[in-house]
């Protein structure tokens, strides 16, 4: 798993988002995971989704990190059930066409883009 997906069901101030990026970096550092970039996209109604591009990690660690990054509790529980049942694409996060992805963090050494 090289992409972590986080669902946030509220809109926040850009300053709060800056702090959140620092928290995400700290969480990745804690688990020795290299963070390449963070993309943000508005969800259908009530918040936004975040996509963290990271160095590949095993599925259980990815799920744990998503929980630590403040993913929606219902989604964590559902994804855990899917992962236990052996579903390969367990990390479900719905995507809506014509929604624009914005990069809110990019690691300096990585040449990754959207």
Partner 1 sequence: MRPRIIRMSLLTGTWYDQTDQEAKSFEAHLTASLRGDIETNRRRLAKIAVPFFQKAHHQQYGRKIAPEKIRIRLERPEPALVASSEVEVQLREISYCGKIHHAKRFHSTILRLRKPRRPTKARRRKARRARKIVRRESRKGRRSTR
Residues that bind partner 1 (CB under 8 A): 51, 77-78, 80-82, 84-87, 89, 92-95, 97
Shortest distance (Å) from residue 48 CB to partner 1: 14
At closest approach, how far in Å is the CB of 46 from partner 1? 16
Strand order in the sheet with 48-54: 3-8, 48-54, 35-42, 102-106
Cβ proximity to partner 1: between 15 and 85 the closer is 85
Which residue's CB is nearer to partner 1, number 23 or number 81? 81
Question: Of 80 and 107, which has the nearer Cβ to partner 1?
Answer: 80
- At 37, give phi and psi (nearest 5°): -155, 165
Q: How far is the CB of 94 from partner 1 (least distance, A)?
A: 4
Query: Rounded to an integer, what distance in angstroms lies between the CA atom of residue 66 and that of residue 86?
Result: 18
Question: What is the rounded distance in angstroms from the CA atom of residue 42 to the CA atom of residue 49?
Answer: 6
């Amino acid at each position: 798993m090289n992409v972590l997906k986080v669902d946030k069901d509220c809109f926040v101030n850009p300053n709060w988002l800056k702090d959140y990026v620092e928290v995400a970096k700290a969480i990745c550092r804690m688990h020795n995971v290299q963070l390449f970039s963070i993309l943000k996209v508005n969800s259908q109604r009530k918040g936004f989704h975040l996509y963290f591009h990271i160095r590949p990690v095993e599925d259980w660690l990815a799920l744990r990190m998503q929980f630590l990054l403040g993913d929606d509790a219902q989604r964590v529980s559902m994804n855990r059930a899917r992962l236990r049942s052996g579903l390969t694409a367990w990390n479900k996060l719905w995507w809506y066409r014509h929604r624009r992805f914005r990069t809110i963090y990019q690691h300096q050494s990585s040449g990754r883009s959207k």
